[in-house]
Amino acid sequence: MRSIRSFANDDRHVMVKHSTIYPSPEELEAVQNMVSTVECALKHVSDWLDETNKGTKTEGETEVKKDEAGENYS
């Protein structure tokens, strides 16, 4: 069984490693801002694509209705 001292050394080692790889508060904030900006941009693109697809569907449905109306009068 491992001694308590061994666990304490492991804890210190983990904390030192964590402090060397964990980003600073400024870096964290920059990443969070970047993620928020990208999410917002993707939302705008998604909304734009939805509107574009709705316009395409409406035009397609209108053409189909015109074709059907033309067939009825023939």
Residue-by-residue pLDDT tens, the chain, 74 positions? 667 667 778 888 899 999 899 999 999 999 999 999 999 999 999 999 999 999 887 766 666 666 666 665 54
Helix (H, G, I), strand (E, B) or coil at 38: helix
Compute the distance between CA of residue 72 and CA of residue 62 in angstroms, rounded to an integer: 15
Q: Which helix (H) or strand (E) holds 1?
A: none
Question: Is residue 47 one of the residues assigned to a domain?
Answer: yes
Give me the number of domains the chain comprises: 1
pTM of the predicted protein model: 0.55
Question: Is residue 23 one of the residues assigned to a domain?
Answer: yes
Question: Is residue 19 one of the residues assigned to a domain?
Answer: yes
Question: Is residue 12 one of the residues assigned to a domain?
Answer: yes
Question: Is residue 24 one of the residues assigned to a domain?
Answer: yes
- What is the domain range of residue 33? 2-54
CB 31, CB 23: distance < 8 Å: yes
Q: Encoding tokens for residue 55?
A: 């316009």
Question: Is residue 64 one of the residues assigned to a domain?
Answer: no
